[in-house]
């Protein structure tokens, strides 16, 4: 397939600069682009990258006209480029499958007629699935799960008994919601598992990454708040209350009974201990280790985590430590000399 | 459903304080409780939380009589509360399914008649499954696995060939036992995989968390000792010997050929290098990084991990570093002055 | 089964030292060996371990003749021992299953006749599978995936749409390739998911560990370079370009759009931020936190990661910090005395 740059400019609603007759055969990022490809540069600071790229044309923001290359200027570069990519590689149409006869579905499950249950998916007793839901192959919804509208459960994700999921939730492959909380009481040298009578509740518009695990509450719910986005391989312990619109990056771990406010961000591999609260809009840095409750509207770094500025001071002091030792050695010598002269 | 507080006190064997005619319609933790709910407070220090809760009654330990609220006093608050929760939300009865005709079972597998194999579970050649085992949907037991009695394998867990599992073991969803050990020898610039002739052995009364991985030994077993409890997303490398009654919290990583004694505890996100030994009763702190063998009966913190006290000293010294620099600057100035006067 | 040591020496092509009539009934590592077992000691420094072992004979390198125990000396001890293990515990023969009638296979998939698709595996629309591939039970290849020759996909691994896999690739259980990249734009307080139009490309001779996740690119591929080996529970973000022959140990996390050169090694639990480059042959230490691009041919430790030597200096300065504080206290006192005498 091929299109003129002019035709593309028209379709994505951008302003053409340079030769509109340029033939475009694909769309790729600057690093990947081959001759014949349309690319994107979302910032004039990427001019050098544009110069190095083999792309035949670029989509740019208004006012950024790279030298020696035709461009299409649009307000939203990424949206326009995504549209261009779809011209050359149209996304797969969602195929309606209904309830596949190869799915394993309990007779007591209630499934909206507009839902798709793929072959090999497992739907337990009393499960309720709303309209627009897609349950992929190998996903397992154990007894009593309740899903709202337009929820997608990717292959091999597992929802333990009585998991409650709102609307427009994405649950990626291999995620596990509702496994037992890690609570033990040691009696006569044996670790006895605590009560597992709670469940997991995922509110509306939440994304759950691949391989992420959220444990069930002891007596009530472990909650992921509305609009919160969770990356891959994140661990949320039992009884946690993750607030609304949080961003939890990959490999974050949150121990039991901890809660967070609104718009909290936790960077990759950060860890938070049990039974603490992270305030609204707090940002926890990568690999940070939180061992106390933290006020909101602030950034925290390091393990143990401290306010960003305090952490920066500590590290700059550290960097000067060898110099400091040199100074002290010199002082010891000078003072010794002064004392000797005195004594003389 | 509703019960009087008196009826509940009788059923859970507790001592009623206050109005026994109080009507109870549910059970929830203090934070979640609504009017009509019974809650719990396991310590008199939680009196303020009780005051703030909307609960209509609480279960408390003997001698803790919260003001203005009827209570039931019992020795084991958590056990009694769990019983109360079950009155209002009875747990699902375990449904016997036997060997589901929708399971995929090798003709050479030997399955005790009292085991349940759910639809979509996969049982390989020569697998042996003891009485009371429950193999959930999508779980896959590859050829030669041997399970004792009362083992539960949750959905989509995978046991590679020849995994040996004792009695009363829980293996949560998405756990993987027996994948290849990460050992390579680089020959002519190519990484060649080492021998994978061993297997994984899980002793009695072990719990394995969701998404946890235990790799097979090179020639013999990787062992998880009796009574050890492993949280979600833990990694245990090939040839490891995890001792008895250990507690490994979420996202812990243990590299190959490392061993631990009895009652070792590793907190969340701790890492231990290969070929070391952690002594009995050692406690490794959160995010700690262990790079040497460690004696038992001690606590270790930090990365690299050091004894707790040493680590505390180091951090308190660090905290005073900016002040130390100030002192040294002042000293330099004073000594300079002294020298000038001397010279004068 | 039992063999004489002489017979084993002949079969594995080694030089017999000591009593060739010794009866051998099994093969185990020094720690595990029982009387009647053949063991291995790959280094003369392991002589003490040999002395303590219950083994009846050992395989050793040329010139290492342990006292009081017959031995077989060979150039490649591990290869010879692996062969000996296989004599006593022959590996399971690979059973050809073809396309199992219990697999779920789209009619539009193209599967080479020499491939094995196990019962319960799921093969989506337009998937292409080359000769020698083995797709285990519960593995799910979504629409448009393309696999070369001799690829093994272990149980319950998931390949999202359009994943491209080269030849001789191992994908372990529970791995997830191609889940959505974690990119959001916050509009009016809501996190909006970025474009997910790319895919994952795994080059030849790559191993992917259990539970590892590699996210799809935004517009183009996320690439794992030829010969790279990835351990369990590793996270590779969207748009990353992992170079050739890298070694990524367990629980490593690499954020989006980061790239690495050839022969890079990342130790366990290391983290690398987004949009940086790690040069050829760089070694990133365990739990290191990389926040900038790093030149190759060097070792880096710590969080934040610094060159090995710099990191060592910092930690040795730190260790002397309490002593330094003592010195400064003494100096303050001496200078005070000097000043007083002066004033007197």
pLDDT tens-digit series, residues C262-271: 999 999 999 9
Tell me the CA end-to-end span of chain B in Å, nearest whole number: 97
Average pLDDT of the segment spanning B202-228: 97
- In whole angstroms, what is the distance from residue C10 CA to residue B340 CA? 87
Residue of B nearest to A326 (CA): B328
The predicted model gives B249-277 an average pLDDT of: 98
Q: What is the DSSP string of C20-33?
A: TT-EE-EE--TTT-
Instruction: Return mean pLDDT, chain A.
Output: 95
What distance in Å separates residue A134's CA from the closest CA in chain C?
Answer: 14
Which token pair is A315? 């590290």
Work out the pLDDT band at C47, boundaries 50, 70, 90.
very high
Distance CA B107, CA B127 (A): 10
Contact C213 A232 (CB under 8 A): yes
Edge-first strand order for the sheet with B134-135 is B116-117, B134-135, B152-153, B170-171, B207-208, B229-230, B247-248, B265-266, B283-284, B299-301, B306-307
Q: And the tokens for A262?
A: 């609104």
**Separation between Cα atoms, residue C8 and residue C21, nearest integer Å:** 11
Contact A260, A242 (CB under 8 A): yes
**Both tokens of residue B93?**
């009865």
Contact status, residue B156 vs residue A179, Cβ threshold 8 Å: no
Q: Which single residue is written with the structure tokens 């008199």?
A: B44
The yes-or-no verdict on residue B344 having pLDDT over 80 is: no
pLDDT value at position C223?
98
> What number is the average pLDDT over the span C248-276?
98
pLDDT of res. C130: 98
CA distances from A252 to A235, A292, B8, B113, B251 (A): 6, 16, 41, 43, 9
What are C316's two structure tokens?
A: 């040795």
Q: Which of B45-59, C109-123, C321-335 has the lowest mean pLDDT?
A: C321-335
Measured N-to-C along each axis, helices C308-319 and A321-343 cross at an angle, to the nearest 10 degrees, of: 40
The pLDDT value recorded for residue B322 is: 82
Distance from CA of C228 to the nearest CA of B (A): 8
Q: What mean pLDDT comes out for the span B205-213?
A: 98
Compute the 3-state secondary structure of chain A and give helix, strand, coil in percent, each to the nearest 5.
20, 30, 55
Using alpha carbons, select from C27, C15, C28 the residue that is nearest to residue C73: C15
Residue C213 above 90 pLDDT? yes
Q: What's the confidence (pLDDT) of residue B343?
A: 67
Q: What is the mean pLDDT of residues B255-275?
A: 98
Question: Which residues are bridge partners to B60 per DSSP?
Answer: B73
Q: Is the dihedral of CA B79, B84, B89, B93 positive or negative?
A: positive
Contact yes or no for A288/A310 (Cβ under 8 A): no
Measured distance CA(C218)–CA(B312) in Å, rounded: 45
Of C102, C210, C321, which has the smallest distance from its Cβ to B104's Cβ? C102
* pLDDT exceeds 70 at position B268: yes
In sequence order, the β-bridge partners of residue C135 are C117, C153
**Which pLDDT score, from 0 to 100, does residue C343 have?**
67
Residue A66, pLDDT > 80, answer yes
Q: Is A231 on the interface with C (CB under 8 A)?
A: yes
* CA-based nearest residue in chain B for residue C321: B317
Alpha-carbon distance A219 to A199, whole Å? 8
Q: If you write DSSP's letter for every residue of A299-328 in order, what string do you get?
A: EEETTTTEEHHHHHHHHHHHHTHHHHHHHH
Q: Is the pLDDT of residue A157 over 90?
A: yes
What secondary structure does DSSP assign to A127-178, as a single string? -EE-TT-EE-TT-EE-TT-EE-SS-EE-TT-EE-TT-EE-SS-EE-TT-EEE
Q: Are A147 and A201 in contact (CB under 8 A)?
A: no
What's the gap in Å between the CA of A113 and the closest CA on chain B?
23
Closest CA to B286 of B264, B302, B297: B302
Question: How much of chain C, in percent, has pLDDT values that exceed 90?
Answer: 87
Token pair listed for C31: 């720690």
What is the rounded average pLDDT for all residues in chain C? 95
**What is the Cα–Cα distance from C6 to C71, expressed in whole angstroms?**
10
Identify which of C138, C94, C145, C91 has the alpha carbon closest to the alpha carbon of residue C116: C94
Give A-chain residues touching B249 at CB under 8 angstroms.
182, 255
Distance CA C232, CA A182 (A): 22
Residue C336 has pLDDT above 90, yes or no: no
Q: B334: part of which helix (H) or strand (E)?
A: helix B321-343
pLDDT band for position C344 (50/70/90)? Answer: low
Q: Which of C208, C213, C325, C329 is best to mutate for the A interface (most A CBs within 10 A)?
A: C213
Segment A309-331 mean pLDDT: 87
Closest by CA to A301, choosing from A257, A234, A313, B286, is A313
Is pLDDT of C70 > 80?
yes
Nearest C-alpha in C relative to B222: C32
Instruction: Please determine, for residue B330, whether its predicted confidence score (pLDDT) is greater than 90.
Output: no
Chain center to CA of C40 = 24
- Residue C89: closest CA among chain B residues belongs to which residue? B197
Q: What is the pLDDT of residue B332?
A: 84
Question: Which pTM was predicted?
Answer: 0.95
Residues in chain A: 344
Residue B104 contacts by C-beta under 8 Å, 6 or more apart in sequence? B120, B121, B122, B123, C102, C119, C120, C137
pLDDT in tens, A220-269: 999 999 999 999 999 999 999 999 999 999 999 999 999 999 999 999 99
**More confidently predicted of B67 and C101:** C101
CA separation for the pair B178, C169 (Å, rounded): 18
Going from the C-alpha of A206 to that of each of A213, A264, A280, B183, the distances in angstroms are 14, 14, 18, 38
Predicted pLDDT of residue C26 = 94
- For the segment C210-223, the average pLDDT, to the nearest whole number, is 97
What three-state secondary structure class fits B335?
Answer: helix
* Subunits adjacent to chain A (3 or more Cβ pairs under 8 Å): B, C
* pLDDT score of A59 more than 90: yes
Question: In this structure, what DSSP letter does residue B219 have?
Answer: S
- Structural contact between residues B44 and B64, judged by C-beta atoms closer than 8 angstroms: yes
Minimal Cα–Cα distance from C176 to chain A, Å? Answer: 7
A325 CB neighbours in chain C (<8 A) are 317, 320, 324
ipTM of the complex: 0.94
**Is-catalytic flag, A191?**
no
End-to-end Cα, chain C, rounded Å: 96
User: Which residue among A89, A155, A328 places its CB closest to the CB of C327?
Assistant: A328
* DSSP-assigned letter for residue B88: H
On the question of pLDDT at A344 being above 80, the answer is no
> How confident is the model over A73-114, as pLDDT tens digits?
999 999 999 999 999 988 888 889 999 999 999 999 999 999
- Lowest-confidence region among B88-102, B185-199, B272-286: B88-102
Between residues B319 and C213, the one the model is more confident about? C213
Say if residue B93's pLDDT is above 70: yes
Calculate mean pLDDT across residues A19-31. 94
Please give the pLDDT value at position C1. Answer: 85
User: Given an 8 Å threshold on Cβ–Cβ distance, is B220 in contact with C32?
Assistant: yes
- Residue C156 and residue A154: Cβ atoms within 8 Å? no
- What's residue B88's pLDDT? 93
pLDDT by residue (tens digit) across C84-103?
999 998 888 888 999 999 99
Mapped onto helix, strand or coil, the DSSP state of residue B208 is: strand
Helices (H), B117-224: none
Examine the pLDDT at B130 and tell me if it is beyond 80.
yes
| Residue B290: strand, helix, or coil | strand
A306-307/A299-301 β-pairing = antiparallel
First to last CA, chain A: 96
Q: Check pLDDT > 80 for residue A135.
A: yes
CA–CA gap between residue A324 and residue A169 (Å, rounded): 55
CA atoms in the 13 A half-sphere facing the CB of C340: 6
Q: Which residues contact A225 (CB under 8 A, 6 or more apart)?
A: A203, A206, A241, A242, A243, A244, A245, A246, A262
Mean pLDDT value of segment C150-176? 98
DSSP state for residue B223 in the 8-state scheme: E
User: Which band of pLDDT confidence, cut at 50, 70 and 90, is reported for residue B339?
Assistant: confident
- Which among A198, A210, A305 is positioned nearest to A241, based on CA atoms? A198
What angle (nearest 5°) sits at the alpha carbon of residue A17, between those of residues A12 and A21?
80
């Amino acid at each position: 397939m091929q299109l003129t740059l002019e035709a593309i400019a028209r379709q994505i609603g951008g302003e053409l600069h340079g030769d509109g007759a340029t033939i475009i055969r694909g769309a790729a990022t600057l690093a990947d682009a081959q001759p014949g490809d349309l690319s994107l540069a979302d910032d004039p600071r990427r001019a050098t990258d544009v110069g190095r790229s083999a792309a035949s044309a670029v989509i740019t923001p208004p006012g950024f006209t790279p030298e020696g290359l035709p461009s299409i200027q649009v307000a939203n570069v990424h949206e326009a480029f995504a549209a261009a990519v779809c011209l050359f590689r149209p996304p797969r149409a969602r195929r309606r499958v209904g309830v596949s006869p190869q799915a394993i579905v309990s007779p007591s499950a209630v499934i909206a007629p507009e839902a798709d249950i793929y072959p090999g998916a497992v739907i337990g007793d009393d499960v309720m699935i709303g309209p627009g839901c897609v349950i992929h192959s190998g996903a397992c919804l154990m007894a009593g799960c309740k899903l709202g509208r337009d929820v997608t459960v990717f292959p091999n994700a597992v929802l333990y008994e009585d998991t409650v999921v709102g609307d427009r939730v994405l649950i990626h492959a291999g995620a596990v919601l509702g496994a037992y909380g890690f609570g033990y009481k040691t009696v006569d040298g044996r670790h006895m598992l605590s009560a597992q009578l709670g469940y997991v509740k995922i509110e509306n518009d939440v994304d759950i990454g691949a391989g992420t695990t959220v444990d069930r509450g002891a007596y009530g719910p472990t909650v992921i708040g509305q609009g919160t986005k969770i990356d891959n391989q994140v661990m949320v312990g039992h009884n946690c209350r993750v607030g609304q619109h949080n961003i939890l990056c990959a490999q974050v771990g949150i121990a039991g009974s901890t809660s967070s406010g609104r718009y909290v961000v936790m960077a990759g591999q950060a860890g938070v201990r049990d039974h603490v609260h992270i305030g609204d809009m707090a940002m926890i840095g990568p690999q940070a280790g939180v061992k106390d409750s933290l006020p909101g509207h602030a950034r925290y770094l390091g393990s143990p985590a401290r306010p960003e500025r305090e952490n920066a001071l500590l590290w700059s002091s550290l960097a000067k430590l060898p110099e400091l030792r040199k100074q002290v050695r010199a002082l010891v010598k000078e003072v010794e000399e002064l004392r000797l002269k005195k004594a003389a």
